[in-house]
């Protein structure tokens, strides 16, 4: 609810900006035209993922991972790394934070393993693993529009061609840090009970087929909002027939939509008033290695100070080229690992782990972030250069 209140306050600020002429109606119209497909995708992919989870798809995958882990904690953790990465890349970082976190934490608890390294794996990879495709992160969807305007990338595959190397670095570095820091806890062995039965086989099959069909569609020229909307509509119809009680308003991520809309409007108003120009000075110019490192660093610091979404929006006008724009994405994607508010996915993740009785100190989180964030941002930026 706090997220919705902040978003409503931001929208109110935006309304004042429009009323006072600080933000013109034409500018607001351009902003709306750019952002409605993004927000529609967020709503559709969230509904799809929530209903797939309700049908037991994620539970079955987790059970398979446990069996494939063969009683070895480190192998189970590596399988979770792969699962979290795929979830983030194709279903977005928020899906990983909201839906995958409780499944992974409960899996570790049932196996008698320390849930902390598993919980950190999901939240770190939800952020750092979100660089490969436009659908992985809201910032990427915004950047795709800008890259298309620059004539560099006009689709998911072209986007991935630009980001695959930094995306790979941003996945590998946090995984290596967790492997070193928690090496003693990960080498333990475990035993699990047999697989849990699926409550409704029809729902499970439908959800599995729809989700499986959606994933490859997200890398085709079909607009991602259209593919996700069709998937959400199909599953909604199936659940209306088989399990109507699961169709509740809470499936719609309205808090996130309000929050993101408020940020879009406020940052656009800040651009109109030239308030963000100071970031242009800090971000510098040029595409040499030190220039890209400077830009990525400013992006990461900005994300940790305010939030990764407004940080991207504020810095986007000062990119001007594909390499610089990818450096911004590295900073706002792999950098926000220090403060709780740096990424909405982090806040959602923390709510989930606390509800499961797992306490992660923010001081401990920030201390680890001070290690992994600079290493990840620097490594991912260097491969751009």
> 92-101, pLDDT tens digit by residue?
888 888 778 8
Residue 210 near residue 167 (C-beta atoms within 8 A): no
Q: Which pLDDT score, from 0 to 100, does residue 1 have?
A: 56
Tell me the C-alpha distance between 302 and 269, whole Å. Answer: 18
Residue 10 near residue 307 (C-beta atoms within 8 A): no
Q: Which pLDDT score, from 0 to 100, does residue 106 have?
A: 84
Tell me the C-alpha distance between 109 and 115, whole Å. Answer: 6
Q: CA end-to-end span of the chain, whole Å?
A: 42
Q: What three-state secondary structure class fits 221?
A: coil
**Hey, which of 217-221, 256-260, 285-289 has the most confident mean pLDDT?**
285-289
pLDDT interval class at 221 (50, 70, 90): confident
pLDDT interval class at 320 (50, 70, 90): confident
Residue 313 near residue 142 (C-beta atoms within 8 A): yes
Q: Which pLDDT score, from 0 to 100, does residue 353 have?
A: 84
State yes or no: pLDDT of 334 exceeds 90. yes
pLDDT interval class at 18 (50, 70, 90): low
Least confident piece of the model among 130-139, 274-283, 314-323, 375-384: 274-283
Residue 167 near residue 146 (C-beta atoms within 8 A): no
* Residue 71, Ramachandran bin (φ over 0: left; ψ between -120 and 50: alpha; else beta): left
Tell me the C-alpha distance between 182 and 195, whole Å. Answer: 27
Q: Which pLDDT score, from 0 to 100, does residue 209 have?
A: 95
Q: What three-state secondary structure class fits 189?
A: strand
Tell me the C-alpha distance between 1 and 70, whole Å. Answer: 41
Q: Which pLDDT score, from 0 to 100, does residue 174 have?
A: 97
User: Quick one: CA torsion of 279, 328, 229, 59, rounded to 10 degrees?
Assistant: -120
Total tally of structural domains belonging to the chain: 1
- Find the mean pLDDT for residues 55-74: 86
Tell me the C-alpha distance between 301 and 380, whole Å. Answer: 16
State yes or no: pLDDT of 131 exceeds 90. yes
pLDDT interval class at 110 (50, 70, 90): confident
Q: Which pLDDT score, from 0 to 100, does residue 266 have?
A: 74
Residues of the domain holding 123 = 2-384
């Amino acid at each position: 609810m706090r997220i919705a209140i902040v978003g409503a306050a931001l929208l109110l600020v935006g309304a004042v900006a429009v009323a006072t002429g600080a933000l013109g109606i034409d500018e607001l119209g351009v902003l709306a035209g750019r952002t409605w497909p993004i927000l529609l995708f967020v709503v559709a992919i969230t509904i799809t993922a929530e209903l797939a989870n309700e049908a037991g798809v994620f539970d079955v995958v987790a059970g398979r991972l446990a069996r494939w882990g063969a009683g070895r904690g480190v192998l189970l953790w590596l399988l979770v790394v792969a699962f979290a990465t795929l979830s983030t890349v194709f279903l977005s970082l928020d899906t990983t934070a909201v839906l995958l976190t409780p499944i992974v934490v409960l899996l570790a608890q049932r196996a008698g393993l320390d849930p902390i390294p598993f919980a950190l794996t999901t939240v770190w990879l939800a952020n750092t693993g979100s660089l490969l495709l436009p659908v992985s992160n809201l910032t990427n969807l915004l950047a795709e529009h800008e890259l298309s305007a620059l004539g560099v990338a006009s689709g998911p595959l072209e986007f991935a061609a630009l980001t695959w190397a930094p995306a790979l670095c941003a996945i590998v570095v946090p995984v290596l840090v967790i492997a070193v820091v928690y090496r003693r806890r990960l080498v333990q062995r475990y035993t699990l009970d047999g697989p849990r039965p699926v409550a409704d086989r029809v729902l499970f099959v439908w959800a599995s087929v729809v989700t499986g069909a959606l994933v490859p569609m997200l890398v085709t020229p079909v607009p991602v909002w259209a593919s996700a909307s069709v998937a959400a509509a199909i599953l909604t119809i199936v659940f209306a027939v088989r399990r109507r009680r699961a169709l509740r308003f809470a499936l719609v991520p309205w808090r996130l939509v309000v929050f993101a809309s408020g940020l879009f409007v406020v940052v656009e108003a800040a651009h109109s008033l030239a308030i963000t120009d100071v970031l242009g000075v800090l971000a510098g110019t040029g595409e040499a290695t030190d220039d890209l490192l400077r830009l990525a660093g400013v992006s990461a610091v900005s994300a940790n100070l305010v939030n990764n979404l407004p940080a991207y929006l504020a810095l986007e006008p000062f990119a001007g080229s594909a390499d610089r724009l990818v450096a911004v994405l590295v900073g706002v994607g792999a950098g926000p690992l220090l403060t709780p508010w740096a990424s909405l996915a982090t806040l959602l993740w923390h709510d989930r782990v606390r509800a499961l009785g797992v306490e992660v100190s923010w001081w401990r989180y920030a201390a680890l972030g001070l290690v992994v964030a600079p290493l990840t941002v620097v490594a991912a930026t260097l491969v751009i250069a």
